[in-house]
Amino acid sequence: MEELAQTQAMYFASLAGGIAFALSGFLAGTKKKLDWMGLFILSFLTANGGGILRDVLTDRTPVILLSNEPFLIALAVTVAGGLFKLQRYDAVENQWLFVICDAVGLVAFAITGALVALAINAPFFGFVTLAFLTAAGGAILRDILVNNVPEVLHSGFYGSIAILVAIAIYLLNMQSMLASASLLGVFAGSLILRLVAFHYRWNLPKP
């Protein structure tokens, strides 16, 4: 029952994050004046790109080939974005509801990536790579497609959160302390750190 509750919690967290990521793809596309097909593709890749990269690297069948849900989420976000004319509101990405959903998704996807690394007995760098790509891979693809410098290269406490999640889960596993309670602690701590970093606009030092 505990494992089922954990799985369901991660699913809903990933769902919230997927919606937020799809919306960020939609907004990035409107700023570049893409057509409706372009907006859908960008929303879809932003929400699912990280998971696709993770699954390809670990020789797993990508989720997008096993369920219609990823397509439906991207389609719903694109249609809703057009109906509510969200492209008119430049500050949507800075609203707390969006930021919270985005942070939830970032942490949930990072944990998912780290758990996949655990399942394939990956070394330390494997944990970091899969957590980072799962959490930030979609945003990287989004920025490359619209010819922007990827956000993770200049936003210090975004990709860093995924790396910290990977380190925490790796160390917990080494100490045989990885359980539902400790995963919840990693999730809560990482989420709080991301929100605090956003609020105070923390960034890593630049040369």
Q: What is the pLDDT of residues 13-71, one digit of tens each?
A: 788 889 989 988 998 898 888 999 999 999 999 999 999 999 999 999 998 999 999 99
> Of the candidates 170, 153, 143, 132, which has an alpha carbon nearest to the alpha carbon of residue 204?
153
- Residue 184: strand, helix, or coil: helix
* Half-sphere exposure for 97 (CA within 13 Å, toward CB): 4
**The tokens of 109 are what?**
């996807």
- Is the pTM value of this prediction over 0.85? yes
Mean per-residue pLDDT over the chain, rounded:
89
Which stretch of 36-50, 86-100, 157-171 has the lowest confidence by average pLDDT?
86-100
Q: Residue 5: pLDDT band by 50, 70, 90 thresholds?
A: low
Which residue shows structure tokens 């799809």?
A: 22
> Of the candidates 110, 104, 127, 99, which has an alpha carbon nearest to the alpha carbon of residue 50?
110
Q: Residue 1: pLDDT band by 50, 70, 90 thresholds?
A: very low
Is the predicted pLDDT of residue 2 greater than 60, yes or no? no
